[in-house]
């Protein structure tokens, strides 16, 4: 291989390694949440409060409204039966209004349908659908999907008029995987026979958990006598209890393993389930994922700090300068070869008596410096310099 080709190939390879390394370290770049209540009517008040409770939690942990899709089929806050108009509570002491003034509902009332939910997940929309109604995730996005309502064996009802099946969800998630719409996904569902809803899943990168096994009901936790109905379900109540007490900071080290270990059948009155087999690394890898990797805002996702970026730029400029110097050296070699060929030709002519000695070009003009580096030494220097830059850049990456 010609020395110039060798050095170009080496330099290109180093750049590829550097930026591939940066991309790998920045694989998880954002967190999104899709929170769905599927029930209408006043007596399903608890399903709305379940969803709004999760909504409040992910906002507390830093996920902005622009990355939360909230689907509410009914507006219990404005229901004429509500003794406390404009409010929704999940506890009988009514210490916290979940509705309040800082809530953004993306799909409301009859917009909450199976078709719209599938379109939302797969991004199969007609032109003109606003960004606020779309799930704008990519291959770097971790996704939390929470669903609650009335269900049965491998189905969940939407507003008592249609159903979504385990196969529907499985196919939608598979399309999302094919279209690189998520990095990792946590699927959570609170309904009767909830664990059957993730039975048919087959897309990679999914952890699924639910409130109850096949032929088990999912129970409400308690009622508010003044509101007149149950205000939250048991499984969601204890999930929130863990999140509120244990995950108090945006950089909390509590893991999904800690969350799932907190499930107490005696308190929940059903058997929650977890499915790990679709997640790379299985249960061991899934249990080690932090809760805030799905419930919180992504912290420190910059590929490099400003200082590291400047230093990397200087390293790359140094490599480029070294390449330019070698190119000049190679060009000089080519010129010297040409001069040498000319002198040898002149010698041949001299032997034939066609020219005089004084017409020859002096040999000193073609003499190379004794301390000139060989092409192999130059290529080695390039490789070592590049690898040193790669090592230094890698140490500056922020995971």
Q: What are the structure tokens assigned to 217, written together? A: 């009901």
Annotated active-site residue in 25, 28, 192, 222: 192
CB 232 within 8 A of CB 53: yes
Is 289 in contact with 207 (CB distance < 8 Å)?
yes
The H or E element containing residue 236 is: helix 234-246
Is 150 considered catalytic here? yes
The beta strands (E) that lie in the chain are given as 30-37, 68-72, 107-108, 141-148, 151-152, 155-158, 162-165, 184-190, 206-210, 220-224, 229-233, 273-275
Q: How many helices (H) and strands (E) does the chain have?
A: 11, 12
Q: Terminus-to-terminus CA distance in the chain, angstroms? A: 39
Name the nearest CA neighbour of 373 among 335, 319, 341, 330: 330
Q: Is the separation of the CB atoms in 7 and 386 below 8 Å?
A: no
Note if 78 is an active site residue. Answer: no
Catalytic residue among 47, 150, 222, 269: 150
All residues at 6 or more sequence positions from 346 whose CB lies less than 8 Å from its CB, including other chains: 355, 359, 360, 361
Q: Catalytic positions, please?
A: 150, 192
């Amino acid at each position: 291989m010609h020395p110039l080709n060798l050095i170009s190939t080496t330099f290109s390879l180093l750049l590829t390694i550097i930026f591939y390394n940066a991309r790998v370290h920045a694989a998880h770049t954002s967190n999104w949440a899709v929170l769905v209540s599927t029930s209408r009517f006043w007596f399903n008040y608890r399903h709305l409060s379940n969803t709004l409770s999760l909504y409040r939690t992910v906002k507390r942990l830093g996920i902005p409204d622009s990355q939360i899709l909230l689907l509410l089929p009914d507006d219990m806050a404005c229901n004429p039966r509500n003794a406390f108009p404009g409010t929704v509570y999940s506890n009988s002491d009514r210490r916290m209004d979940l509705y309040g003034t800082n809530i953004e509902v993306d799909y409301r009332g009859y917009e909450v349908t199976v078709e719209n939910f599938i379109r939302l997940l797969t991004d199969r929309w007609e032109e003109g659908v606003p960004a606020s109604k779309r799930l704008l995730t990519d291959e770097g996005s971790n996704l939390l999907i929470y669903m609650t309502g009335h269900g049965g064996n491998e189905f969940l009802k939407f507003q008592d008029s249609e159903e979504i099946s385990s196969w529907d969800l499985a196919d939608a998630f598979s399309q999302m995987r094919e279209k690189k719409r998520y990095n990792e996904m946590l699927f959570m569902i609170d309904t009767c026979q909830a664990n059957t809803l993730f039975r048919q899943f087959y897309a990679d990168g999914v952890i699924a958990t639910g409130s109850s096994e096949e032929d088990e009901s999912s129970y409400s936790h308690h009622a508010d006598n003044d509101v007149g109905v149950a205000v939250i379900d048991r499984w969601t109540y204890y999930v929130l209890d863990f999140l509120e007490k244990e995950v108090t900071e945006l950089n909390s080290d509590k893991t999904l393993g800690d969350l799932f270990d907190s499930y107490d059948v005696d308190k929940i009155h059903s058997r929650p389930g977890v499915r790990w087999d679709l997640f790379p690394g299985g249960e061991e890898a899934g249990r080690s994922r932090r809760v805030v990797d799905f419930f919180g805002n992504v912290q420190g996702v910059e590929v490099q700090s400003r200082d590291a970026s400047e230093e990397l730029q200087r390293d790359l400029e140094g490599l480029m300068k070294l390449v330019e110097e070698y190119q000049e050296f190679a060009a000089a070699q080519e010129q010297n070869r040409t001069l040498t060929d000319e002198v040898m030709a002149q010698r041949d002519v001299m032997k034939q008596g066609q020219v005089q000695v004084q017409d020859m070009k002096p040999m000193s003009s073609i003499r190379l410096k004794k301390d000139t580096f060989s092409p192999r030494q130059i290529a080695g220097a390039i490789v070592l310099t590049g690898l040193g830059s790669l090592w230094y850049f890698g140490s500056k990456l922020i995971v």
